[in-house]
Homo-oligomer: A and B are copies of this chain.
């Protein structure tokens, strides 16, 4: 399993992913699920992946191959695409192709070849955008009404986002909400695990403003987590 969450706010983008992968409960590993593609000042793209690891790794490898191709065009390379919509389209087509190939190979287990991605970023002259790309390549986009998107184990971490996030939330609060949303998920689902990858992209910066790996022993995260537990218990005892 996995938990990744992306927030699209007026002030910028906040993306947070875990790093746990598992094939059964007795085979867990750590893999990065956060990928950044940057041409500072021109465009910044961040992606997070959930689902079948062979599908997501192959998809990322194909996207990189297309970027490196000297004959790349705006229809093949996410670094040449003319808009974030174009980026999402390329990612969707690549994911759908890899999913199809993998399913063909997997026969009766075809359903396991399931993966989805969150794609976020901004191009010079364009808006910040945040997409969730489905296995078939279609996608949805975050809006003012629903300024966040989740992939993987989304349920445990949703209530806190619903209560505190609006498009006007400042970046510092959005980071805190994403981390608390992850904290609730980590507590309830063993197949979501530390370390975490956090990326913040400020509006119109056109580069990554902050990128941080939060390790299992991160004191700041542990302090926030226990402060939140205590605050919740206090809140619980206060209400009638």
Residue in A155, A227, A229 with the greatest tally of chain B CB atoms within 10 Å: A155
B158 touches A236 (CB 8 A): no
A25 near B: Cβ within 8 Å? no
Cα-based distance from A223 to B240 in the complex (angstroms): 9
From A173, A224, A231, name the one whose CB has the most chain B CB atoms within 10 angstroms. A231
Chain B nearest CB from A155 CB (Å) reads: 4
Query: Which residues 181-240 in A have Cβ within 8 Å of B in the complex?
Result: 184, 187-188, 223-224, 227-229, 231-240
A232 CB → nearest B CB, Å: 6
Q: State whether A239 and B156 are in contact (beta carbons under 8 Å apart), knowing that A163-B232, A164-B233, A232-B163 are contacts in the complex.
A: no
Interface residues on A, range: 20 to 34
Classify the secondary structure of A's interface with B.
helix
Given contacts A160-B232, A163-B236, 18 further A-B contacts (CB under 8 A): A155-B155, A155-B188, A158-B188, A159-B187, A159-B188, A162-B187, A163-B229, A163-B233, A164-B232, A164-B233, A164-B236, A173-B236, A173-B237, A224-B239, A224-B240, A228-B235, A228-B239, A232-B232
Copies in the complex: 2
Complex: A173 Cα to B238 Cα, angstroms:
11
Bound: A164/B231 CA distance, A: 12
A15 at the interface (CB under 8 A from B): no
Say if the beta carbon of A180 comes within 8 Å of chain B. yes
A and B contact pairs by CB, cutoff 8 A, 16 listed: A156-B158, A159-B184, A159-B188, A160-B232, A162-B188, A163-B229, A173-B237, A180-B236, A224-B239, A224-B240, A227-B240, A228-B235, A231-B235, A231-B236, A232-B235, A235-B235
